[in-house]
Structure 1
Amino acid sequence: MWRSEFELYFIEDNAANFTGHIIKEGQGTLFPQGSIHYLINAPCGNGSLVAVTSSEDPGRIDVATSFFNALPASMISAALGGQKVKIDENKLSTVDPAQGAEECRRRCNLL
């Protein structure tokens, strides 16, 4: 990793710890294969990040978007403990994880 620092977070496994820390220039980290994780360029500066994977095509999935868009409502309800869920499909179909949280976009003058 070069130029900038990144906040990174991941869930270790089912019902385990939500872990986060900051990596700075010259540091690195490992994410467990298949883990849900994300990174934030918190200082909003120019940054570079090198990712190394164990496959030519490691794939990528936006977990929440895929969960709510791909599964039938009955499966979503069962996964959420029988809760009835009302989904605003317009919001889900326009999710762009690269844009980050609104607060981050505001802080980085991207709004």
Structure 2
Amino acid sequence: MHRRASQIYCIIKGEFELYFIEDNAANFTGHIIKEGQGTLFPQGSIHYLINAPCGNGSLVAVTSSEDPGRIDVATSFFNALPASMISVALGGQKVKIDENKLSTVDPAQGTEECRRRCNLL
């Protein structure tokens, strides 16, 4: 999430899956964009983009600010808040946090499943 900028992606080569959450989780939307296509992620939207087919791909990403900021929402939520606050935010559920799973601060590194599929492990 970039709280100080919108972001535009233009696909130069390949195929990418993109996902974003609309205001207050109103809708989780996903699309596939290909060479010559692009998309806009509004300022403050929770979003991600992956090279799901693991093929060669390139894109251009541009933000509307020189200092767009970046918040990795889930990592920040679970790492920054005390367990009691997380429990309240999740409707009183008891939460057990696996510290090893939170150690990845950069989601661009990909999930283990994605990295395995692309032969990166």
Q: Report the TM-score when normalising by structure 2.
A: 0.82
Deviation at 1:14, TM superposition (A): 0.7
Deviation at 1:95, TM superposition (A): 4.6
Moved more, 14-23 or 85-94: 85-94
Secondary structure at the counterpart of residue 86 of structure 2: helix
Match of 1:51 in 2: 61
Q: Can you list the C-alpha shifts for 1:14-59, whole angstroms capped at 9, x where unaligned?
A: 1311001011111110112111111110121222121121110101
Name the Cα RMSD after superposition. Answer: 1.4
Number of matched residues? 109
Identity %: 96
Match of residue 110, structure 2, among 100, 104, 107: 100
Q: Would you say the 8 A contact 1:6–1:39 is kept in 2?
A: yes
Secondary structure at the counterpart of residue 51 of structure 1: strand
Q: Would you say the 8 A contact 1:12–1:32 is kept in 2?
A: no
Secondary structure at the counterpart of residue 66 of structure 2: coil
Moved more, 77-86 or 97-106: 97-106
Deviation at 1:98, TM superposition (A): 1.9
Residue 106 and residue 89 in structure 1: after superposition, are their counterparts in 2 closer, same or farther (change >3 A)? closer
Moved more, 90-99 or 42-51: 90-99
Secondary structure at the counterpart of residue 14 of structure 1: helix
Secondary structure at the counterpart of residue 69 of structure 1: helix
Match of 1:42 in 2: 52
Deviation at 1:109, TM superposition (A): 0.9
Q: Report the TM-score when normalising by structure 1.
A: 0.88
Moved more, 75-84 or 89-98: 89-98
Structure with greater strand percent: 2
Deviation at 1:108, TM superposition (A): 1.1
Find the aligned partners of 2:100 and 2:25 in 1 and give their Cα distance: 30
**1:77 partnered with 2:87:** yes
